[in-house]
Amino acid sequence: MTDANTLDEISRKVSDALPEGLGQLRDDVVKNVRATLSAALARMELVTREEFDNQAAVLARTREKLEALETAVRDMEGKSAPESSADN
């Protein structure tokens, strides 16, 4: 889900925030932050923007079909209502 560029950018920002003189510790912190973020984002079960947009389009089409069906049912009920009231 999360691309490597995003994790690299976040890791770079963390690295830039650390003092230059830390050397190996700085590298370890960056690796740990990257691994932790990757694991946390994987647990969140996030979807890509493309997947989200696809599902939004499916939902929009479904709503349109539902509205058309509701209109058709109302029309059928409207046509059958006078017939049933005439029988009473």
Nearest Cα to Cα of residue 12 among 2, 25, 26, 22 = 26
Is the predicted pLDDT of residue 79 greater than 60, yes or no? yes
| 46-to-10, 38, 83 alpha-carbon distances in Å | 18, 12, 54
If pLDDT is split at 50, 70 and 90, which confidence band does 37 have? confident
How high is the mean pLDDT of the chain? Answer: 82
The helix-helix angle for 4-17 and 24-43 (nearest 10°) equals 140
pTM, two decimals, is 0.49
Q: Give 12's contacts (C-beta < 8 A, 6+ positions apart).
A: 30
- Structure-token pair, residue 1: 């889900």
pLDDT for residue 1? 45
